[in-house]
Structure 1
């Protein structure tokens, strides 16, 4: 072969090899499942925009505004988020219908932060059978941390059992001889809190808990339950409710002049959607727990993370009430989701989304309280497990004590 022809052959072979390498490299770099393309990431969501838990609907609206902000800045790795959010009215059969629509008709990549323990329970087996991520569910039930049996489902907020264990630690220290009356929603959500409190109280649970009163979300009011609990002579009232019923209970406790130590679960501790409607004067001294910063707390006035959040509200979501704790929850969980998608790079398969969600190391959205970090692993699907106690005084919550871990042991 002439030297020239030989060189040409070598050059052609090299060019072909380079082309093949770049083609395989491109294939290696970009992997998609249904719901992801070069330009789009399709995310599904289900919220109670109507019904007994409609106060939480603002979480979905906040997330939509945050994803729009991300899109306006160019998206994630050049891809825009297409956020499809449906109403289920906090009704599990409707949740099933909406989940099927999102997965089978809209063909979303995954379902993100759908709200409520009964609704998410209704779709958990379906999502895992379909191998579609049910990611950062908006409920603190302990069952979401079960990577062995449900590898496609993960929580985000502290578990209800963890939170209740923290209240138990406080009670045993401050009022070890108290009589406790519990009002709880009659489903997995309410029962998880009750179990956590009993586990935390240990052997003293049977003697300290003098009454357990459950209610259905279909009831118009919990007033009669509160009156019944007062009659037990309890001096601690553990109020495990969603916002509408929490406000009713706070009002009724004041109205019947019952003066127990009132412990209110975190998911109903919003100043805007619970305390203000119930009346600030009726909420004095209530104890709860937090893992996110509170806009009404002056200690965050010059905090960079809080400034960023308030700037987001002013520019992207002016209709959002800064005093509604659900707004800051929606903002924080949306930031966590964006972090996971950034980590995914160009590998937007459902498997990699779960892998990256289970690989968060000391991640912080700057609206988390100092000292609280998000950590996950293939064996731990519980991103946040610590809280800090707080007491309501004047028109705001006041944090006290240390950050406490309420992790539930195996």
Structure 2
């Protein structure tokens, strides 16, 4: 009898120990803690509100009971769009603050700086707000997953459109001199099939004051199509400068910089009219979505938790979609709040309908496909709003 009692006690001890193993650092019975690294300062500070948005979203979640009864604590850190600082902040979050994961980081340079570190530490680097194609590499980097469509796919969409509609185009390209710029530009040029269509290709560094000289060079090249591969500050400068010097090419603007309030308005709406870009999200400023259920929920969230948000900045409502997806993954993880299980749930999203996505676009992932969103639509700015045209284009 004593032997069986001892065995039962041992079994209970082992069961209790097994239950305890369902938590990795950053998780407990009462709390889930994760981090976000964004440029709250520096040349790309316009993007910093994404971190504020994610934190505000989980303030709302916490006010409604949390995730499976747990409070979600979001630690937002500033990297100033400096890759060295991104690595410093990632180490802080993982080694000092002990977060369960990092999610929603913005920018290719910073995420590149922590890519290897996060995978070596086996800490999820989830739903990045950067479309670099290298994030979709589950074989070599199984702890990293993007959220937005890839820059490479977007670049190819522009090239296909130009080939079909402007076969005699003379193309000038402005691009940021880093992985972000090249990830758009190289696939765009490759898709053209004829590199001679590109008559000028000039770069700028994020430390530069302006891109005035680059824009003068592009005008002098005789280009009649302008591909603007720049982050918001420089994209706005380029659009305004083209107008000021009387250069009137057909303009294509990368989606990460097509925000009306942060880019087009500073550039001048008169200079922005006619610009072509891509979108995978519903635009809050578009009257078509005035009574849309997603938009009603967004406006309520904005009013109560994120009043500084701009309806004209795509990242201020893209992050709402991202945060919703993070919440879904945490909810699905249940009480098994381990880093491994989070990645399991993140790579098993099937036709998931996240808010703010255009009709017909859903989130899909698998163990060998870490690209959640693989469809976009072309759109043109009419001087007041962006107007979609054509069909949803599936990309890969």
Shorter-normalised TM range: over 0.9
Alignment of 1:265-280 (within 5 A): 265-280=254-269
The residue number in structure 1 matching 2:186 is 195
**Displacement after TM superposition at 1:33 (Å):** 0.5
> 1: CA distance between counterparts of 2:224 and 2:102?
43
1:151 aligns with 2:142: yes
The residue number in structure 1 matching 2:64 is 73
Q: 2:343 aligns with which of 351, 354, 361?
A: 354
The residue number in structure 1 matching 2:361 is 372
> 1: CA distance between counterparts of 2:257 and 2:318?
12
**Displacement after TM superposition at 1:148 (Å):** 0.6
3-state DSSP class of the match of 1:31?
A: coil
Instruction: Say whether the 8 Å CA contact 2:274–2:383 is kept in structure 1.
Output: no
> 2: CA distance between counterparts of 1:18 and 1:56?
55
Structure 2 portions without partners, runs of 5+: none
1:332 aligns with 2:360: no
Structure 1 portions without partners, runs of 5+: 1-8
Closer, same or farther: CA 278–150 of 1 in aligned 2, 3 Å: same
> 2: CA distance between counterparts of 1:167 and 1:222?
22
Alignment of 1:175-194 (within 5 A): 175-194=166-185
The residue number in structure 2 matching 1:228 is 217
Alignment of 1:240-255 (within 5 A): 240-255=229-244
> 2: CA distance between counterparts of 1:28 and 1:200?
52
> 2: CA distance between counterparts of 1:235 and 1:78?
58
Instruction: Say whether the 8 Å CA contact 2:347–2:367 is kept in structure 1.
Output: yes
> 1: CA distance between counterparts of 2:76 and 2:68?
23
> 2: CA distance between counterparts of 1:323 and 1:112?
23
Instruction: Say whether the 8 Å CA contact 1:29–1:346 is kept in structure 2.
Output: no
**Displacement after TM superposition at 1:199 (Å):** 2.8
Q: 1:386 aligns with which of 375, 384, 395?
A: 375
How many pairs does the alignment contain? 394
The residue number in structure 1 matching 2:202 is 213
Measured on the aligned residues, the alpha-carbon RMSD in Å equals 1.9
3-state DSSP class of the match of 1:387?
A: strand
1:95 aligns with 2:100: no
3-state DSSP class of the match of 2:86?
A: helix
Instruction: Say whether the 8 Å CA contact 2:86–2:114 is kept in structure 1.
Output: yes
**Displacement after TM superposition at 1:156 (Å):** 0.6
The residue number in structure 2 matching 1:299 is 288
**Displacement after TM superposition at 1:406 (Å):** 2.2
> 2: CA distance between counterparts of 1:383 and 1:286?
27
1:128 aligns with 2:119: yes
**Displacement after TM superposition at 1:18 (Å):** 12
The residue number in structure 2 matching 1:114 is 105
Q: 1:141 aligns with which of 111, 132, 136?
A: 132
> 1: CA distance between counterparts of 2:343 and 2:155?
28
Deviations 1:254-298 (A, max 9, x none): 111111110000000001111111111110100000001001111
Deviations 1:141-169 (A, max 9, x none): 00000101111111110000011111111
Normalised by the length of structure 1, the TM-score is 0.92
Instruction: Say whether the 8 Å CA contact 1:146–1:381 is kept in structure 2.
Output: yes
Bigger Rg, structure 1 or 2: 1
The residue number in structure 2 matching 1:400 is 389
The residue number in structure 1 matching 2:300 is 311
> 2: CA distance between counterparts of 1:336 and 1:200?
32
1:262 aligns with 2:251: yes
3-state DSSP class of the match of 1:193?
A: helix
